[in-house]
């Protein structure tokens, strides 16, 4: 049997083996965004509680535990991403700025001289915490003692937001009793965190990392993140829900860029999705092209509503046929008519909700 030490040493260094800048940072960013975008799916039948003045007790009663998980994941992963970025910026100046000073003389000398450490030496170094990393960055920026201090001034300007992010993380991680409600999570992420994220991603050090964290381009050309940040001052539950669902489906889109062997891969996936979509026969209005993946596998469902129905004779005074849900069998994009049409939100996708009298 392998020893515990050997087992726990059998891993991969993302920076040296995979060339990942800032270690696991961008993977954490991706997981946080996926969790945030998924919150609509977990709350899609209860969003009306947040659109009107309902008591918090009713909102909380109708909020499933699955949303609590997603809210916690969003904060934890965004916090982890930010912490790793702060430490990476400090280490780019000197490794000791991001770590506690080692009490071992040889290790300290190696760190001062920029010499590599062995596995045992690395395991003995304790990294500083989020709040300390933030304070050190702010101090260095204010003193103009860090490379490109002017470009990092936004961290100083955003320190209140980042401190709140740290507090939210600690309330989840250490106490395990508090998460933001649906609308509060939307507002914190879109109005406060995304502007900071955008500034981080604009730093030259982190350019070209999109493949590590970003969703695939949407067929309709819509960019969920840009939209959510730009619209943060005019928050609307439905508008943000639609944008998040488009982002979630973009992460789930299995269609890869059409080149070489991926054409075969794409063809198999799209073929199965199209077949599944056209196999549905119950209450289907039509099958159309999905705005996310671009495959003709989006099913538009309809139903009938009647007025003045006589159950004995089977007659009615008036009847309407209306569409109420769409679902893609390829990328899993799915919304219902609890949301308005995209045009009502300024989102350029087809309007799916229609009704006509029969």
pTM recorded for the entire structure: 0.91
Q: Please say if the pLDDT value at position 20 is more than 80.
A: no
Q: Encode burial over 115-138: b for 16+ CB neighbours within 10 A, e otherwise.
A: eebeeeeeeebeebebeebbebbb
Cα-flanking dihedrals φ and ψ of residue 299, to 5°?
-95, 130
Residue 13 has pLDDT above 90, yes or no: no
Give CA–CA dist 54/294, Å, rounded.
39
pLDDT for 129-157, tens place per residue? 999 999 999 999 999 999 999 999 999 99
pLDDT tens for 287-304 read 999 999 999 999 999 987
CB within 8 A of 120, min separation 6: which ones? none
Beta strand ranges found along the chain (DSSP E)? 284-288, 298-307, 318-328, 334-336, 355-357
Phi, psi of 61 (to 5 degrees): -60, -35
Q: How confident is the model at residue 195 (pLDDT cuts 50, 70, 90)?
A: very high
Q: Which long-range contacts (CB under 8 A, 24 or more apart) does 115-120 make?
A: 119/9
pLDDT at 120 over 80: no
Structure confidence by residue, pLDDT tens digits, 44-70:
999 988 877 889 999 999 999 999 999
Tens digit of each residue's pLDDT (9 = 90 or more) over 237-258: 999 999 999 999 999 999 987 6
Greater model confidence, 326 or 96? 326
């Amino acid at each position: 049997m392998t020893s515990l030490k050997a087992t726990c040493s059998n891993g991969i260094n993302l920076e040296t083996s995979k060339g990942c800048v800032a270690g696991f940072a961008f993977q954490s960013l991706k997981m946080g965004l996926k969790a945030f975008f998924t919150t609509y799916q977990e709350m899609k039948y209860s969003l009306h509680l947040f659109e009107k003045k309902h008591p918090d007790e009713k909102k909380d009663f109708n909020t499933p535990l699955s949303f609590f998980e997603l809210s916690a994941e969003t904060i934890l992963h965004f916090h982890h991403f930010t912490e790793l970025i702060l430490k990476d910026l400090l280490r780019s100046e000197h490794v000791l700025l991001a770590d506690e000073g080692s009490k071992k003389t040889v290790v300290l000398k190696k760190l001062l001289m920029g010499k590599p450490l062995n596995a045992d030496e690395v395991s003995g170094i304790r990294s500083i915490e989020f709040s300390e990393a933030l304070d050190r960055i702010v101090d260095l920026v204010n003193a103009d003692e860090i490379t490109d201090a002017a470009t990092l001034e936004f961290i100083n300007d955003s320190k209140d937001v980042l401190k709140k992010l740290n507090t939210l993380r600690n309330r989840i991680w250490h106490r395990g009793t508090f998460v933001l409600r649906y609308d509060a999570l939307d507002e914190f992420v879109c109005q406060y965190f995304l502007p900071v994220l955008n500034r981080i991603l604009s730093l030259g050090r982190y350019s070209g990392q999109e493949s590590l964290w970003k969703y695939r381009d949407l067929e309709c050309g819509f960019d969920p993140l840009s939209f959510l940040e730009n619209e943060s001052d005019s928050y609307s539950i439905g508008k943000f829900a639609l944008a998040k669902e488009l982002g979630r489906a973009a992460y789930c889109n299995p269609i890869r860029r059409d080149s070489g062997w991926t054409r075969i891969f794409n063809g198999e996936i799209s073929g199965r999705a199209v077949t599944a979509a056209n196999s549905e026969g119950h209450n289907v209005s039509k099958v159309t092209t999905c705005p996310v993946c671009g495959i003709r596998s989006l099913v538009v469902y309809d139903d009938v509503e009647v007025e003045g129905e006589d159950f004995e004779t089977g007659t009615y005074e008036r009847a309407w046929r209306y569409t109420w849900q769409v679902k893609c069998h390829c990328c899993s994009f799915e919304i219902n008519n609890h949301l308005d049409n995209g045009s009502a939100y300024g989102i350029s996708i087809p309007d799916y909700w229609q009704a006509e009298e029969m």
